[in-house]
């Protein structure tokens, strides 16, 4: 699972549906793998408006990657700094979480990551309407 995916995941247990404290999920006991990916500036730029910058920075730092600046790029800037682009590419697309857990900061529900795939399923009683 790439950090790009992690940046899109929030806890969806019924007790968390109405809070804003269900994101980002806290990574625990993770096993990482670096997998090289082809650079695609357009893709990164297209994703920027959806990106939760602070969540990405804190998650990357928790994993030991301190390459991202505190403040994200201005989405209205037509050009993305070459260095930042490369850094973002690496953090979003090349760091893979192979095994580990994601813990909801609100309800403490644990989502397992196995063989790179997050299991976002909840038990029946946790879904609700
Ligand atoms: Zn939760």
For residue 21, the CA-to-ligand 1 centroid distance in Å is 8
Cβ–Cβ < 8 Å for 25, 55 = no
pLDDT the model gives residue 128: 64
pLDDT score recorded for residue 124:
79
Q: Which CATH number fits domain 3-127: 3.40.640.10, 2.20.25.10, 3.20.20.80, 3.40.630.10?
A: 2.20.25.10
Ligand 1 centroid–CA 87 distance in Å is: 30
Q: pLDDT tens for residues 64-103? A: 999 999 999 886 777 778 899 999 999 999 999 999 999 9
Say how many Å lie between the CA of residue 125 and the centre of ligand 1.
13
CA of 116 to the centre of ligand 1 (A): 21
Task: Using the predicted structure, report yes or no on whether residue 129 has a pLDDT greater than 60.
Answer: no
Query: Is the model's pLDDT at 53 over the cut of 90?
Result: yes
Distance (angstroms) between ligand 1 centre and the Cα of 24 equals 10
Question: Rounded to whole angstroms, how far apart are CA atoms 31 and 79?
Answer: 34
Buried b (16+ CB within 10 A) or exposed e, 4-40: bebbebbbebeebeeeeebbbbebeebeeeeeeeeee
Confidence of residue 27 (pLDDT cuts 50, 70, 90): very high
């Amino acid at each position: 699972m790439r950090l790009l995916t992690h940046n899109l995941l929030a806890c969806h247990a019924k007790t968390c549906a109405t809070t804003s404290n269900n994101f980002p999920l806290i990574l625990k006991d993770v096993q990482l793998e670096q997998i090289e990916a082809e650079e695609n500036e357009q893709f990164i730029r297209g994703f920027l408006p959806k990106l939760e910058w602070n969540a990405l920075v804190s998650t990357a730092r928790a994993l030991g990657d301190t390459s991202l600046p505190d403040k994200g790029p201005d989405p209205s800037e037509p050009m993305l700094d070459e260095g930042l682009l490369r850094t973002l590419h690496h953090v979003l697309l090349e760091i893979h979480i192979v095994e580990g857990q994601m813990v909801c900061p609100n309800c403490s529900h644990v989502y397992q990551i196995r063989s790179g795939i997050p299991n976002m399923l909840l038990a029946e009683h946790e879904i609700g309407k």
